[in-house]
Every structure is written in C-alpha cells, then in structure tokens.
Amino acid sequence: MTPKKIVRELDKYIIGQMPAKKSVAIALRNRWRRQQVEEPLRDEINPNNIILIGSTGVGKTEISRRLATLMNAPFVKVEASKFTEVGYVGRDVESMVRDLAEVAVK
C-alpha cells in the first residue's frame, strides 16, 4: 500500500491533520518495506518509530486506531500519566506491553 493510498483511507475518517496523516503513512510504508527485506539485511536497517504529540482532541488516537485497523494490527490506548517507575504505586510500563500482548492474542 502506498502512502497516498494510506492517506486516502485515513481521509475517509479524519478531517484535516494532513501533515500527521502523511507522516504516519510514510512511516507505515517504510515499516512494510523493511519487513520485505531478507533477515540478515533487515537487521542492518534501523526501524523508525513515531510519536504523535498534540493537544487533547486533535486526532492522535483516531489516526493510530485507523492505521491499526487498516493494517489489521492490534491497538491499545494507554494513558501514560497513570504509569510510574517500578516500585512506586501505580501501573508500571511492563503492564503496557502486557495489555498489547493480550489484545494481539484475542
């Protein structure tokens, strides 16, 4: 799937946010390309991660949710402010990974 096609799919559900939609579309295409490379060479290509930053309600979660749906991938929304370092009261970061694994298995 090309970045243009990914953006067109996102356009069906998300109004505006064109720079964000283009960025995630390119990142998704690059991730797919990396997965197509044979294993020894794949280890030489560093994966790129993205972080979506913005005010409440601008569409970060919806863009992520729609991308996950488009790629048939698991999606977990995590409120990071509830997480603490291990040993303190609250949820630790490891529980984020557990949550994602549980959703992926379902």
DSSP assignments along 25-92, one per residue: HHHHHHHHHHHHS-HHHHTTS----------TTSSHHHHHHHHHHHTT-------GGGEE-TTSSSEE
Residue 106 CA to residue 84 CA, distance in Å, equals: 27
Confidence band, pLDDT 50/70/90 cuts, at residue 86: low
Same domain, yes or no, for 64 and 99?
no
Same domain, yes or no, for 42 and 78?
no
Same domain, yes or no, for 41 and 3?
yes
Amino acid at 40: P
In tens, the pLDDT along 34-65 reads 888 988 888 888 877 888 888 889 999 999 99
For residue 8, the Cα-to-chain-centroid distance in whole angstroms is 18
Same domain, yes or no, for 57 and 40?
yes
What integer pLDDT is reported at residue 10 of this predicted model? 96
Same domain, yes or no, for 93 and 47?
no
**Higher-pLDDT residue of 76, 78:** 76
What integer pLDDT is reported at residue 70 of this predicted model? 93
Amino acid at 16: G
> What is the domain range of residue 27?
1-72
Q: Taking the model in full, what pTM does it have?
A: 0.72
The count of structural domains within the chain is: 2
